[in-house]
């Protein structure tokens, strides 16, 4: 295999393992690593040695992944990104598991509210909030015949803006909660690392690449 | 049996040493930039000549990336004669402050530990 081909294979593998990152970050990393390889090769190091010293592409990618996942997600609003970071956090402890569940419940509730508000115009007679003798008997979209004919629907078309608003607020709140939690966890980790200088055991723990 | 145990002890201490290096690497990377900007390979070569922190060279890049995210470093791409641009890193003011704190803590930590380990080395000398 020519050294040019070896380098291409390495970078391709690295790109593949970094595929979860956004395009800019990924291309920046690849550009930097390929500059490293070219510079080192110009100094006369053989391609095999250069790539061996860099370490396997999947390990290099894993070291980037954990650090960036949480820090970029804490500035993101994408539920996918946030939940992925929350899942990563969940593997690290009870706080993370709690954050993950708050995320699951929050997004499910918010999404459900918004969806229900959008279904109302499609099934206007079967979607709403029903009250009978002062008690709530049903809400949401119900199958025909499920609801006692004596119960009456109280919201009418107000159901739509109400549910859309409640849903959006729940989604927004969930997003902010997860972001705040991710940022808090970063602060903890940073503090751990600062303390880690006086207590290397702790620092080492937080720096071991988790693959 | 004893042989296996010996091997386990060896691999444990290898791992411990690798982790210790990795932990120190963050501070070392910041320290390498104290006198001005460098690009990745220069940082690696600098660390190689000034310390024995050699490890998988790739390790330095994710660390630089994180130090940048933390605001301790900035980076810029500079066109070089080599035909491809190089990514140069420099310390930010926050990076300088943090490095000073780290250096202070590290020095007091390592001198304390050296004192702690003194009897051990003395015992070894007597054994010889």
Contact A175, A77 (CB under 8 A): yes
Q: What is the mean pLDDT of chain A?
A: 82
pLDDT at res. A71? 65
Q: Does B49 touch chain A (CB under 8 A)?
A: no
State whether A60 and B61 contact (CB < 8 Å): yes
Q: Establish if B52 belongs to a structural domain.
A: yes
Nearest CB to B56; choose among A54, A71, A203 = A54
**B89 — phi, psi (to 5°)?**
-110, 145
Identify the band that residue B7 occupies on the pLDDT scale cut at 50, 70 and 90: low
Domain boundaries, chain A: 93-211
Residue B82 belongs to domain with CATH number: 1.10.10.10
Indicate if the pLDDT at residue A68 is higher than 70: no
Mutate to test the interface with B, among A43, A51, A76, A197 (most CBs of B within 10 A): A197
Q: What is the mean pLDDT of chain B?
A: 83
**Chain A residue at shortest CA distance from B27:** A197
pLDDT at res. A15? 94
Q: What percent of chain B has pLDDT over 90?
A: 35
Nearest CA distance, B126 vs chain A (angstrom): 30
pLDDT at res. A200? 41
State whether A67 and B58 contact (CB < 8 Å): no
State whether B41 and A33 contact (CB < 8 Å): no
Indicate if the pLDDT at residue B9 is higher than 70: no
Strand A135-141 relative to strand A127-132, pairing: antiparallel
State whether B27 and A39 contact (CB < 8 Å): no
Nearest CA distance, B59 vs chain A (angstrom): 7
State the CB neighbour count (10 A cutoff) for residue A198. 15
How large is the average pLDDT for residues B57-71?
Answer: 88
ipTM value, please give it. 0.76
Q: Which two tokens stand for residue B117?
A: 């380990």
Digit-coded pLDDT (tens) for A154-208: 888 899 999 999 999 999 999 999 988 888 877 676 555 555 444 444 333 444 4
Q: Return the closest-CA partner of residue B99 out of B75, B76, B72.
A: B72
pLDDT at res. B77? 94
3-state SS string over chain A? CCHHHHHHHHHHHHHHHCCCCCHHHHHHHHHHHHHHHHHHHHCCCCHHHHHHHHCCHHHHHHHHHHHHHHHHHCCCCCHHHHHHHHHHHHCCCHHHHHHHHHHHHHHHHHHHHHHHHHHCCCCCCCEEEEEECCEEEEEEECCCCCCCCCCEECCHHHHHHHHHHHHHHHHHHHHHHHHHHHHHHHHHHHHHHHHHCCCHHHHHHHHCCCC
Indicate if the pLDDT at residue B92 is higher than 70: yes
Distance CA A173, CA A185 (A): 18
Give me the number of domains chain B comprises: 1
Chain A environment of B58 (Cβ under 8 Å): 33, 53-55, 59-60, 63
Q: Establish if B89 belongs to a structural domain.
A: yes
Chain A environment of B57 (Cβ under 8 Å): 36, 53-55
Distance CA A36, CA A25 (A): 17
pLDDT at res. B59? 86
pTM: 0.56
Identify the band that residue A150 occupies on the pLDDT scale cut at 50, 70 and 90: confident
Indicate if the pLDDT at residue B94 is higher than 90: yes
Write the DSSP symbol of residue B34. Answer: T
Q: Establish if B1 belongs to a structural domain.
A: no
State whether A53 and B27 contact (CB < 8 Å): no
Digit-coded pLDDT (tens) for A94-141: 888 999 999 999 999 999 999 999 999 898 888 888 888 888 888 888
Full strand arrangement of the beta sheet holding A135-141: A135-141, A127-132, A152-153
């Amino acid at each position: 295999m020519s050294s040019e081909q070896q380098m291409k294979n390495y970078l391709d593998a690295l790109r593949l393992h970094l595929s979860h990152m956004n395009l800019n970050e990924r291309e920046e990393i690849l550009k930097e690593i390929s500059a490293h390889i070219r510079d080192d090769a110009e100094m006369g190091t053989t391609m095999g040695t250069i790539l061996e010293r860099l370490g396997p592409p999947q390990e290099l990618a894993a070291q980037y992944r954990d650090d960036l996942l949480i820090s970029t997600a804490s500035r993101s609003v994408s539920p996918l990104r946030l939940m992925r970071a929350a899942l990563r956090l969940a593997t690290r402890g009870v706080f993370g598991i709690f954050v993950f569940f708050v995320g699951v419940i929050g997004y499910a509730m918010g999404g459900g509210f918004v969806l229900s508000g959008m279904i109302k115009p499609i099934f206007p007679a079967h979607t709403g909030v029903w009250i009978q003798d002062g008690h709530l008997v049903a809400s949401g979209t119900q199958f025909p015949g499920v609801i006692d004919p004596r119960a009456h629907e109280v919201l009418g078309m107000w159901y739509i803006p109400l549910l859309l608003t409640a849903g959006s607020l729940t989604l927004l709140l969930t997003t902010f909660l997860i972001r705040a939690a991710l940022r808090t966890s970063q602060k903890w980790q940073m503090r751990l690392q600062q303390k880690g200088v006086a207590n290397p055991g702790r620092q080492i723990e937080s720096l071991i690449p988790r693959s | 049996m004893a042989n296996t145990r010996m091997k386990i002890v060896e691999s444990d201490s290898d791992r411990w040493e690798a982790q210790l290096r990795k932990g120190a690497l963050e501070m070392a990377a910041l320290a390498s930039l104290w006198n001005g900007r460098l690009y990745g390979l220069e940082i690696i070569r600098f660390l190689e000549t000034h310390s024995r922190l050699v490890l998988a060279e790739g390790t330095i890049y994710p660390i630089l990336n994180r130090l940048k995210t933390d605001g301790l470093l900035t980076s810029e791409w500079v066109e070089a004669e080599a035909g491809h641009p190089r990514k140069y890193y420099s310390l930010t003011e926050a990076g300088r402050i943090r490095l000073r704190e780290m250096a202070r803590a590290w020095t007091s930590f390592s001198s304390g530990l050296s004192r702690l380990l003194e009897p051990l080395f003395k015992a070894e000398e007597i054994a010889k």
